[in-house]
Amino acid sequence: MIVKALHMKGLKSEHAYTAAFASIGLSVASWFGSMKAESAGTSRADRWGIFVGEWAPTFFALGLALANYERDHQALHSAEH
């Protein structure tokens, strides 16, 4: 299971949620940066912003999966002791 493997590597739900919010900020920053740095106009900036913005739902879903795993893992260990 991927979620278990990520949890065992030390990734926590808070890390995934932080990455999700950071990707939202990065999406806005990349949009503004593209508008200023490139002469391609709004369409190029929109593509950059959307590309980076698509990461956020993935990180939020991963955070939710990890939170569920952490909750279940903690409940299992609490029941054992």
pLDDT tens digits along 8-44: 999 999 999 999 999 999 999 988 888 777 776 788 8
Residue 21 lies in a domain: yes
Residue 52 lies in a domain: yes
Please name which of 23, 44, 25 lies closest in space to residue 34, comparing C-alpha atoms: 44
0.75 surpassed by pTM:
yes
Tokens of 50: 């959307």
- The CA-CA-CA angle for residues 20, 26, 28, to 5°, reads 115
Could you give the number of structural domains in the chain?
1
- The CA-CA-CA angle for residues 64, 60, 78, to 5°, reads 20
Residue 4 lies in a domain: no
41 — phi, psi (to 5°)? 90, -165
- Give residue 21's domain range: 12-80
